[in-house]
Structure 1
Amino acid sequence: MRITMILNQDGGTIRGMDAQQFGDMACARLSERGSECVVRLVTGENLIKTLEEVANDGETDTIVAGGGDGTISAAAGVCFKSGKTLGVLPLGTMNLFARSLCLPLDPSEALDALVTADERELDIATANGRPYVHQFSVGLHARLVHQRQKLDTSTRFRKITSTIKSLGQVILHPPRFGAEIDTGSGRTRQIVSAVSVSNNLFGDTPLAYAEALDEGVLGVYRSRALEPGKVFRMTLRAAFGKIKEDPDMSVESAHKVTLSFPNIRSGTKAAIDGEIIPLERDVECVCHPGALRTLVPKAYAANARTNFHLLKQASA
């Protein structure tokens, strides 16, 4: 069978490379897995169309996506629906899913890890049927992403700078909205500033990403309605990987979550894996355990064993 590598030339890291040269080198490396490898270079505008074409290619059984988190999320959704195996080549700014997989963030080192990676069935979530691998969010995070999209994010430095500027605006003017949330034990109503439903629980890391992708749960995060000072405090805790310790943040796990926003204003946005979409009045998030076949580096299994032993020691 064939490996088809799809490289998003608009991804942050690849902009400074000769994309064709890098793609040819990467395919030569991946062919060491014993499969033919072909590369397709695309722009962000043509990404979805190309992914869907490859999903319908009967000779391709593995799609290796090279790009940022948006590219990886789109490829994961296609693989989830088509049953193909996903490979991840981190070429973005944050590379959150790659971090969850314990992939090196250097492209060359990531290729080395993919050559010897094992296929493993990991979890993926959906929000009203739309697949995502990281999180669906409303409120603080969604407003941050929306504000950042209005600024210059053409380079890694500019994207980080734009994120900081947008964060300042969100801290000074935090959203407040009504939400009804049902995690399976009854519906609760609350005025909040943030709601996020993640694909597995986030780890205790400065960047919010799951350290395990096969626990078969959603992480449900909600904050009370916050004033600027409390948003600033929560931001500091998040920067040190201590968001669960914030007194205004509630965290739980669930297999399915129903969200309702009875008084949403027209034009209110949500974010799903970093992409801004219109917020629907009712949203159902569902975990699909083991539904995403993925190339997983050896380091992921080693990290899972370490976490298991730490949990066992903590409970002893």
Structure 2
Amino acid sequence: MTAPLFPCEQPSNSGPLFVVLNGASGRAATEERQRLVSEQFNAAGRGHEYLTVKSGRELPQVARRAVELAQRERGVVVAAGGDGTINAVAQEVLDYGLPFGVLPQGTFNYFGRANGISQDIATAARALVQAPVRPVQVGQVNGHRFLVNASIGLYPKLLEDREQWKRQYGRSRLVALGSAIATVLREHRRLNIELVRGEQIRIIHATTLFVGNNALQLKQLGLPEAERIEQGELAALALHPVSRLTMLWLMLRSAFGKLADAEEVQRSAFRHMTVEPRLHYGSHRIKVAVDGEILWLRPPLHFEVAPHPLYLVAAEPTGPLE
């Protein structure tokens, strides 16, 4: 692979499309998605190639291969999957300034929905071959990029438990809700965190620290910081230690988009923030959830807006975020 390239001008959406396709849902479903997508690409006269991924472990390698092909052919790298798949492919694309397309497949698809990309894969494919390229903001923590959010504390545990429930009961919003309720009813460790923003240092006690980079997700929680994302910042939410009953009440408020006035939640917006968790004796790393994927990182954690954007192939959303 050639050296990273950050173009002086935005790349164009004119070359062949190299689609990294999450095939975890099975051969029949994968072949049907390929058929629907190929119909739209062929109708537009666009060359394309599928690089199918059968397990999460293959994603980085397959994404790198797609980047190599797109560099050589002056093409577009496309991620077909949920937010985790989209993030994994974007990680490889970002350093090379290549155009990046999305064909959403997951349960929540915050990234695709926030950028006006249809949840119907055929509709999304048809729009993809016609859309312009525009820069979108990326967040990062210790060099690991995130398109939607990153977090420590309770939220990573929620994600881990949700995946276990999905494997047992299937993928649906109802299963995700049931898993979340079961998780918050357990005992949770309190985090002692030092936050550094510029010259300001603050010590807080929290069960979770959530950093968002997705205006749609924050808007659904009823948080005014959604507008700050669109102004080039990230949003931080720290949940103070509360009782189980209060935790359930906060979940209910968040479900109805009423979290803004909750006294138990501390909120702020920033471009760069250093987080120093006070770890237990013998601990050298902390669990961090990055767009749904679990990483173990060494503190301090440096959260910031990435210096380079992702060049997304998508028109500007024309309606309200939903």
The question of a shared fold, defined as TM-score above 0.5 by the shorter chain, is answered with: yes
Q: Judging changes above 3 Å, is the alpha-carbon distance between structure 1 residues 68 and 55 closer, same or farther for their aligned structure 2 residues?
A: same
- Deviation of 1:297 after TM superposition, in Å, equals 3.2
The whole-number CA distance in structure 2 between the counterparts of 1:101 and 1:155 is 30
Q: How many residues align?
A: 300
Q: Superposition pairs for residues 259-274 of structure 1, below 5 Å?
A: 259-264=275-280, 266=283, 268-274=286-292
Q: Judging changes above 3 Å, is the alpha-carbon distance between structure 1 residues 263 and 157 closer, same or farther for their aligned structure 2 residues?
A: closer
The whole-number CA distance in structure 2 between the counterparts of 1:149 and 1:251 is 27
Aligned residues of 1:216 and 1:289 also touching (Cα < 8 A): no
- Deviation of 1:253 after TM superposition, in Å, equals 0.9
- Deviation of 1:17 after TM superposition, in Å, equals 4.4
The whole-number CA distance in structure 1 between the counterparts of 2:26 and 2:228 is 30
TM-score (norm 2): 0.83
The whole-number CA distance in structure 1 between the counterparts of 2:107 and 2:227 is 18
Q: 1:192-217, CA deviations, whole angstroms, 9 ceiling, x for partnerless residues? A: 11101122554321599968865311
- What residue number does 2:162 align with? 148
- What residue number does 1:224 align with? 240
Q: Judging changes above 3 Å, is the alpha-carbon distance between structure 1 residues 237 and 166 closer, same or farther for their aligned structure 2 residues?
A: closer
The whole-number CA distance in structure 2 between the counterparts of 1:22 and 1:289 is 34
- What residue number does 1:48 align with? 60
Letter in 1 for 2:33: F
Q: Superposition pairs for residues 15-54 of structure 1, below 5 Å?
A: 15=26, 17-31=28-42, 35-44=46-55, 45-54=57-66
The whole-number CA distance in structure 2 between the counterparts of 1:106 and 1:127 is 31
TM-score (norm 1): 0.84
Aligned residues of 1:100 and 1:212 also touching (Cα < 8 A): no
Alignment match of 2:96 (pick from 82, 86, 108): 82
**Unpaired runs of 5+ in structure 1?**
308-316
- What residue number does 2:185 align with? 171
Secondary structure of 1:161's counterpart equals: helix
Given the alignment of the two structures, is residue 249 of structure 1 paired with residue 277 of structure 2, yes or no?
Answer: no
Given the alignment of the two structures, is residue 275 of structure 1 paired with residue 275 of structure 2, yes or no?
Answer: no
- What residue number does 1:73 align with? 87
- What residue number does 1:314 align with? none
**Unpaired runs of 5+ in structure 2?**
1-14
Aligned residues of 1:153 and 1:159 also touching (Cα < 8 A): no
Letter in 1 for 2:63: L
Q: 1:155-185, CA deviations, whole angstroms, 9 ceiling, x for partnerless residues? A: 7446852652343232332331101112335
Given the alignment of the two structures, is residue 180 of structure 1 paired with residue 198 of structure 2, yes or no?
Answer: no
Q: Judging changes above 3 Å, is the alpha-carbon distance between structure 1 residues 297 and 257 closer, same or farther for their aligned structure 2 residues?
A: same
Letter in 2 for 1:75: V
Letter in 1 for 2:47: E
Q: Judging changes above 3 Å, is the alpha-carbon distance between structure 1 residues 221 and 21 closer, same or farther for their aligned structure 2 residues?
A: same
Q: 1:63-86, CA deviations, whole angstroms, 9 ceiling, x for partnerless residues? A: 111111110011111121121111
Letter in 1 for 2:261: E
Alignment match of 1:285 (pick from 299, 303, 313): 303
Given the alignment of the two structures, is residue 203 of structure 1 paired with residue 218 of structure 2, yes or no?
Answer: yes
Percent of aligned pairs sharing the same letter? 23
- Name the one with the larger strand percent: 1
Aligned residues of 1:100 and 1:210 also touching (Cα < 8 A): no
- Deviation of 1:92 after TM superposition, in Å, equals 1.1
Q: Judging changes above 3 Å, is the alpha-carbon distance between structure 1 residues 155 and 27 closer, same or farther for their aligned structure 2 residues?
A: farther
Alignment match of 2:77 (pick from 49, 63, 72): 63
Query: RMSD over aligned Cα, in angstroms?
Result: 2.8
- Deviation of 1:96 after TM superposition, in Å, equals 1.4
